[in-house]
Amino acid sequence: MLNAIRKGESFVPNLKGKDFLRLADFSKEELGWLLETAVQLKKAQKQGKSQPFLSGKVLGMIFEKSSTRTRVSFEVGMMQLGGQAIFLSTKDLQLGRGETIADTAKVLSRYVDGIMIRTFGHARIEEFAEHATVPVINGLTDLHHPAQVMADLQTIYENKGHLEGLKLCYIGDGNNNMAHSLLEGAVKMGMDISLASPAGYEPNSSIVSQVKKEAVTSGSSILLTGDPREAISGADVVITDVWTSMGQEEEAKERLATFAPFQVNEELCGLANKDYLFLHCLPAHRGEEVTEGIIDGPHSVVFDEAENRLHAQKAILKALLAG
């Protein structure tokens, strides 16, 4: 288990009723406990053991951005835990026709036991959580993607046996949700992190300032650079993401030219450690941010990573809705 992450065998946090908006809101021990729970739930599911921790519970799922992994993993996760999930698009809600976020949050809190939201601006989910009286879970915003990074950390742990002291390298758009949540998660768990991005695409300055303060306590090192070769040197884990995210389609042509030197390919990965892992949150654009030889190669664990969305999120759901 993740004993190296936890304070001790008896450590069990009380997260019931808490929101899950960003990883910075949780301690190293709390995140370690969630990861350990995810590993246990995955093992039980593989063994066919019943997991009715959320029997009678209902999760409302609001989607303002489309999804494959987020919708299916949360919906299946609730089913496997004995509960149910309701899919709600903005086409189905008065929220899409002008009802306020506050009113929607207050009403839905009377019907369901938790709410997962996949949306655009992070301020939207913060406002929703402020007015909701049930736990609110971030399924993705433009600023953070904490559920995905929990799956990433679980995948790294399962393959490496530990997290602390590993070097994680992210190459690509630094001002996106994956980069921000990776910064928060890696530093929180005592990992070193290097991030390479083009000029003008650096991570959010307030998040950088916050994680640098966290690094003083965790002992992590943080490298922000415009040189992908410098960033990937000696890396244990290499991660990238699409260069053009939802809502940025008009910038696609410009981004393709800007990010071309930041492609994760065989030559670049030759600078990583020989046993490096490659992760990508998917969907991927093969031939753009990553070559086929890397994403479909022997170092890639992207489909284990995708599967772990289910198990990491089950741990989150169990902790927030059942305790």
Q: Could you tell me which residues are annotated as the binding site for carbamoyl phosphate?
A: 67-70, 94, 118, 145-148, 281-282, 309
Taking alpha carbons only, the member of 51, 64, 2, 65 closest to residue 31 is: 2
Task: Please state the residue numbers annotated as binding site.
Answer: 67-70, 94, 118, 145-148, 177, 241, 245-246, 281-282, 309
How far, in whole angstroms, is CA 60 from its chain's centroid? Answer: 19
Q: Helix, strand, coil proportions of the chain in percent (round to 5)?
A: 45, 15, 40
Catalytic residue numbers, as ranges: 118, 145, 148, 241, 281, 309
At 210, the amino acid letter reads Q
Query: 167-171 and 192-196 as β-strands: parallel, antiparallel, unpaired?
Result: parallel
User: Which segments within the chain are labelled E, that is strand?
Assistant: 58-63, 84-89, 114-118, 136-140, 167-171, 192-196, 222-225, 237-240, 277-280
Q: Which residues of 129-165 are buried (b: 16+ CB within 10 A; e: fewer)?
A: bebbebbbbbbbbbbbbbbbbbbbbbbbbbbeeebee
Residues annotated within a binding site for L-ornithine = 177, 241, 245-246
User: What does the DSSP 8-state code read for residue 286?
Assistant: B
Closest by CA position to 315, among listed 62, 71, 31, 5: 31
Q: Which are the contacts of 303, defined by CB distance < 8 A and separation ≥ 6?
A: none
